[in-house]
Structure 1
Amino acid sequence: MEALFEVQYALDTFYLLLSGTLVMWMAAGFTMLEAGLVRSKNTVEILAKNIGLYSIACVMYMLVGYNIMYGESASSIIPGIGFLISGDNTVADVLAGGEDAPVYSNIADFFFQVVFVATAMSIISGAVAERMKLWSFFLFAVVLTGFIYPIQGYWSWGEGFLDELGYADYAGSGIVHMAGASAALAAVLLLGPRKGKYGPDGKARAIPGANLPLATLGVFILWMGWFGFNGGSELKVSDVESANTVALVFANTNLAAAAGVIAALITARLMFGKADLTMGLNGALAGLVAITAGPDTPSLLLATGIGAVGGVIVVFSIVLLDKMRIDDPVGAISVHGVVGIWGLLAVLFSNDEASLVGQLAGIGAIFGFVFVASLIVWFLIKVTMGIRVDEEVEYQGMDLEECGLEAYPEFTGAAGSGK
């Protein structure tokens, strides 16, 4: 029996680490997606932003964020404060048995959780692209990953008041995706749109991305990483029930993404007369976000339907936000925020333990707190160091000003020399 406990512990720890590695790979997906959807003159800045935010998230969550989210609490609303993560389990802990015996490494749990907070911050990167100061973005990353995200995460996954209300969010449609979109919306409202995005009549003008093959690769990377995002959220795989649940989660995740692509392409064809690739890409992500709140309970057919609805919603949302002059270069607010809300409500179709009251409370609390807290932090950064580059830098591109490099120097050099 002792040997069995040790094998289960080792297997579940390895599964959590492998899943976390897949989620970490999503950072590459966000980077490629955003680099493909911005203009070439802003590519290096996007690359620097993404590798920088991931690194900041890892350090801040280790220093303080993890303990806020999962440490000792003051109440079901107010989390405790602590610094650095504690040590790992001992052999005696594992062999103790019973409900309180650990089933995986504490350090593995930290690793799995830290890549989630980095994902939330990655969502903001695309929404503020092509006009936000790099170091202002990094400063906000410190606050969001160290404090804002862990506080709202404590309310649910940390067994706070949302957990007590029955809020159900298996892998984070609200906790991760809607939270990131809420912070992005606050930033975009203070930033304003890119120069030239809207004409004198208020109509949106298309600003094509520089590299759609790269953006498509980014979506495929995100799609693959999402198997770790959702599948790993089962947290273990060493018994029959957990293994079957993981299999269902993987299949539902894949089907929801596929349905999102199909639905978005059909919707775009009906609305614009064209099969808009960017809408198809966002349809895949919308399907993934939609199923993330509850991939463990729907049938395969229901999961496909949930993803398809997400794919339709995201097209209409992107168009509506453009009409409202909310400039989001990659559609992040629509994909992760609007569709995140749909995903949380879709849980009610298959999870008997979820309630409408609990889901609405989660939507309201997470959006309200993250949006207001982010708006305050963004405003403080704006009045101290500024958040937007000046018009000349925006016109010339942010790469040389912020990073001193060009992403494609041979092309710009050839063009400049008249060759």
Structure 2
Amino acid sequence: MWTWGGGFLSEAGYSDYAGSGIVHMAGAAAALAGVLLLGARKGKYGANGQINAIPGANMPLATLGTFILWMGWFGFNGGSELVVSDVSSANNVASVFVNTNASACGGLIAALLLGHILFGKADLTMALNGALAGLVAITAGPLAPSPVVATLIGAIGGIIVVFSIVGLDKMKIDDPVGAISVHGVVGIWGVLAVPFTNSDASWGSQIYGIVVIFLWVFVMSLIVWGIIKVAMGIRVSEQAEYEGVDVSECGIEAYPEFTKS
């Protein structure tokens, strides 16, 4: 009701085709509020400022999950056309599909190459986040760009997400899956990229939308998270965190074959 359907942001000229800002950045703003109140995982940051990697449990499943998201994004972006009643609207959906895929590819390749340059190896987690960053970046304007420009928008998103993940770690903001970087920082880039290909959008209106959405969601989420923290707590015990919530909540190891007696 803020953007789609004639909301006040739409009336102000804010353009966000499928939600780089009103969906992805909004979610990241809520996540940032939660992360700041929750704090870092135990052992993530050392006393001398060192950053300790805490690997994900299953990278093949993470890769599968990324591809599932990638596939779903065609419906997410293409469905935002809302209608396929004539040749013109069908062509629009086709263009959105092509640009969505091109941007994801650009983000993945850019993040993969940059990760290799920075870390000396092909970092799978950065590549996966790069693909998602490309998808988030194009979501605000997947119809207007050419496939080449869409690829470039995604590639810039892939570069941004790598530096953002590294930067947040240095700021000791523990974001285990890179959600703030992928959906928040790159979401902002996606919104700001719209005027490059859509003459009806302006950077002033895009910045206005970014500020309004982020501040509203962040402040409201901070209040909600704060109430929950005071009322019932938002962190498991140190023992449960060490053992894994699968044990404390479900009474079973997720990967018992890796547990040493």
| TM-score interval, normalised by the smaller of the two chains | over 0.9
* Residue 365 of structure 1: how far off its partner (Å): 0.6
Match of 2:43, SS state, is: coil
Deviation for aligned residue 1:249: 0.2
Query: 1:394 maps to what in 2?
Result: 241
Q: Name the counterpart of 1:212.
A: 59
What whole-Å deviation, never above 9, does each CA across 1:243-289 have from its counterpart, x for those lacking one? 11101000000000001011001111111111111000000000000
Q: What does the per-residue CA deviation read over 1:360-384, in whole Å, with 9 as the maximum and x for residues that have no partner? A: 1110011000000000000000000
Alpha carbons of 1:255 and 1:267: their partners in 2 closer, same or farther (altered >3 Å)?
same
Offset at residue 407 of structure 1 (A): 2.0
2-structure distance, mates of 1:187, 1:296 = 33
Paired residue type of 1:351 = N
Which residue in 1 is equivalent to 2:8?
161
Cα distance in structure 2, aligned partners of 1:272 and 1:408? 29
Distance of 1:155 and 1:292 partners within structure 2: 17
Does 2:259 align with 1:259? no
Pairwise CA distance, 1:158: 3.9
Tell me what 2:208 maps to: 361
Q: Which residue of 2 aligns with 1:324?
A: 171
* 1:45-56 map, 5 Å: none
Match of 2:77, SS state, is helix
Query: Aligned residue for 1:300?
Result: 147
AA at the equivalent of 1:187: G
Does the alignment pair 1:343 with 2:190? yes
Aligned to 1:313: 160
1:196 to 30, 43, 50: 43
Which amino acid is 1:336 matched to? H
- Alignment partners' CA distance in 1, 2:166 and 2:38: 19
In the alignment, the residues of structure 1 paired with residue 5 and residue 252 of structure 2 have an alpha-carbon distance, to the nearest angstrom, of 42
Query: CA deviation digits over 1:41-76, x for unaligned, max 9?
Result: xxxxxxxxxxxxxxxxxxxxxxxxxxxxxxxxxxxx
Q: Name which of 10, 16, 33 aligns with 1:186.
A: 33
Quick one: which amino acid aligns to residue 238 of structure 1? S
Amino acid aligned to 1:250: F
Q: Report the equivalent of 1:177.
A: 24
Counterpart mapping for 1:16-415 below 5 A: 154-412=1-259, 415=260
**Which amino acid is the alignment partner of residue 241 of structure 1?**
S
**Alpha-carbon offset, residue 411 of structure 1:** 4.6
Q: Tell me the CA shift for residue 159 of structure 1.
A: 2.0
Return the alpha-carbon distance in structure 2 between the equivalents of residues 319 and 257 of structure 1. 21
Consecutive unaligned residues in structure 1, runs of 5 or more: 1-153
Letter of the aligned partner of 2:13 in structure 1?
Answer: G
**Matches of 2:42 and 2:135 in 1, distance apart?**
32
Residue 410 of structure 1: CA displacement?
Answer: 4.9
Q: TM-score, normalised by structure 2?
A: 0.98
Amino acid at match of 1:388: R
What do residues 196-216 of structure 1 show as CA deviations (whole Å, max 9, x unaligned)? Answer: 001111121111112111111
Q: Which residue of 2 aligns with 1:122?
A: none
The 2-side partners of 1:164 and 1:357 are apart by 13
Q: Distance in 2 between matches of 1:230 and 1:351?
A: 16
Deviations 1:327-385 (A, max 9, x none): 01110100000000000000011111111121011100110000000000000000000
Backbone CA RMSD of aligned residues: 1.0
* Residues 272/409 of structure 1: CA separation in 2 closer, same or farther (3 Å cut): closer
Q: Which runs of 5+ in 2 are unaligned?
A: none
Shift of 1:157: 1.4
